[in-house]
Amino acid sequence: MSVNPSPRPFSEPSPLSRSLAAIVVVLYAVVSILPLAWIGATAFKSQEDAIAYPPKLIFKPTLEGFVDLFTVQTHQAPEFIAKLPPPQTWYEKIARDRDMVIAGPSRVVERFLNSLIIGFGSTILATFLGTLAAYAFSRFRVPMADDLLFFILSTRMMPPIAVAVPIYMMYRWLGLYDTRIGMILLYTAVNVSLAVWLLKGFIDEIPREYEEAALVDGYTRLQAFRKVVLPQAVTGIAATSIFCLIFSWNEYAFNLLLTSSAAQTMPPFIPFIIGEGGQNWPAVAAGTTLFLLPIVIFTIALRKHLLRGITFGAVRK
């Protein structure tokens, strides 16, 4: 066997293998992003373009999908439309061009609002409770700490569908069915396990010396917590909050089963953005795009913390 004088260590790849690796990875990244690109493009297609076959790559962009998404329209005869006063706004014009009259806002706005309210509400509550508990686990000798922490983690192992059955009954009985406060409480309970594990990791990384110094100087434990630990934990709290927000934003099963309309968020609603006598793909795509956009932004903002977040703080770079 011919001997290669000094084999390159595995950690130092050659320029050639670097370029090959780059090509493969970029190829995968591009292919993997194509579905999202297609949906984004569909949001700007007209209905005819969206259901054209073979599928259209080049098309004339329009905001029809977005108008359909946010308004309720009725189909009217052209004679009736001719008798109406001329359209006031750009979206009315778009509707009139297709023989439709805008009758009012659609229920998408409510759903978006619910996603925001329930998302932020549960995030703030979960982060608040999580920070407190994480601090306690990190700094104090809590009896049965490992067991308690594992218990907190195990609550995430339960299939949501399984827990949904008794929670449904409990909520019906308590009058929390289809209420925003009910959903906020539920999401908080699910998020708090993530928050505790993540924040414990972050707080563990804050050296204890600072608090101890403060304690020596007569600060109470609570004051030390507020004045010394919290400011240093701000990054961790922010990262944790965003992960909690992402979960609440994306959640589908609980919201589907425990709400009917007043507290319904976007995910259960998106498949049912139905158009006039047909599946309105541009409107569904528009709703999907708008809904996924914050997540894309958050992912880019959080990219340094993603690893920690998806493993509940078990793995840190």
Partner 1 sequence: MRMSRTTLSLACAAGTLAMTLGAASSAQAEGKSLTLCWAAWDPANALVELDKDFTKQTGIEMKHEFVPWTSYADHFINLLNSRSSECDLIIGDSQWIGGAAENKWYVKLNDFFDKNKISMDTFLPATVVGYAEWPKNTPNYWGLPAMADAVGWTYRKDWFAKPELRAEFKAKYNRELEPPKTWDELLDVAKFFTGKEIDGKKVYGSYIFTERGSEGITMGVTNAMYNYGFDYMDPKQPYHMNGVVNSAGAAKGMDVYKELFKCCQPPGLTNAYMSEGLDAFKSGEVAMQMNWYAFFPGLAKDPNVGGDKIGFFKNPAGPAGDFTQLGGQGLSVVAASKNVDDALLYIKWFAQPEIQQKWTDLGGASASKAVLLSDAYKNSVPYAPSFVESMGMVKDFWAEPLYVPLLLDMQNRVHDYVVADKGTSQKALDALVKDWLKVFKQEGKDPS
Partner 2 sequence: MNGTNATRTLVDRRAMRTAAPAARAARGLSDRSIAWLFILPTMALLLAINIFPLIWAIRLSFTGFMANLPAPAGFIGIDNYVDILTDEDVWTNFQITAHFVFWTIALQVVIGLGLALLINHKFRGHSFWTTVILLPMMLSPAVVGNFWTLLFQPQIGPFNYLIGFFTGIAPSSFTMIGSVALAPWTIVLVNTWMWTPYVMLICLAGLRSIPDYIYEAAEVDRASPLRQFWSITLPMVLPFLMLSVLFQAIQSFVMFDMVNLLTSGGPGSTTELVSITLKRAAFEKWETGYASALAVILFVTIFGAANVYVRALNWVKQQ
117 binds, among partner 2, partner 1, none (CB under 5 to 8 A by kind): partner 1
Closer by beta carbon to partner 2, 94 or else 214: 214
Q: Give CA–CA dist 306/300, Å, rounded.
A: 9
Q: Is 221 in the site for partner 1 (CB under 8 A)?
A: no
Residue from 289, 294, 277, 314 nearest 123 by CA: 294
| Contact in structure between 129 and 188 (CB atoms under 8 Å) | yes
Among 18, 93, 221, 226, contact with partner 1 (rule: CB under 8 A): 226
Question: In the complex, what is the shortest distance from the CB of residue 45 to partner 2, in angstroms, rounded to a whole number?
Answer: 11
Count of residues making up the chain: 317
* Minimum distance from residue 293 beta carbon to partner 2 (Å): 11
DSSP 8-state code for residue 123: H
Q: What are 104's strand-pairing partners?
A: 72
Query: Measured from the CB atom, is 109 or 296 closer to partner 2?
Result: 296
User: Does position 215 bind partner 1 by CB under 8 A?
Assistant: no
Nearer to partner 2, 102 or 199 (CB): 199
Q: How far apart are CA 229 and CA 208, in angstroms?
A: 9
Q: Looking at beta carbons only, is 123 or 149 nearer to partner 1?
A: 123
Q: Does 120 bind partner 1 (CB under 8 A)?
A: yes
- 258 phi and psi angles, rounded to 5 deg: -110, 5
User: From residue 147 to residue 176, what is the string marking binding to partner 1 with x (rule CB under 8 A)?
Assistant: -------------------------x----
- Region of 10-18, 121-129, 246-254, 288-296 interacting with partner 1 (CB under 8 A): 121-129
Q: Which two tokens stand for residue 87?
A: 């359209």
Specify the residue, 102 or 167, whose C-beta has the smaller distance to partner 2: 167
Amino acid at 116: L
Question: Using CB distances below 5 to 8 A depending on partner kind, what does residue 142 bind out of partner 2, partner 1, none?
Answer: partner 2
User: Considering CB under 8 A, how many residues would be counted as binding partner 1?
Assistant: 38
Interatomic CA distance for residues 61 and 42, integer angstroms = 9
Report the DSSP pairing between strands 71-75 and 100-105: antiparallel
Q: Give the whole-angstrom CA distance, residue 187 versus residue 132.
A: 18
Burial track 203-212 (b if 16+ CB lie within 10 A, e otherwise): bbebeeeebe
Side chain identity at residue 190, one-letter code: V
Q: Which is nearer to partner 2, 67 or 285 (CB)?
A: 285
The per-type count for the chain, helices as H runs and strands as E runs, is: 16, 2
Q: Which does 81 bind (CB under 5 to 8 A by kind): partner 2, partner 1, none?
A: none
Interface residues with partner 1 (CB under 8 A) are 51, 53, 74-75, 77, 99, 103, 117-118, 120-121, 124-125, 128, 172, 177-181, 183-184, 226-227, 230-231, 234, 260-262, 271-272, 274-279
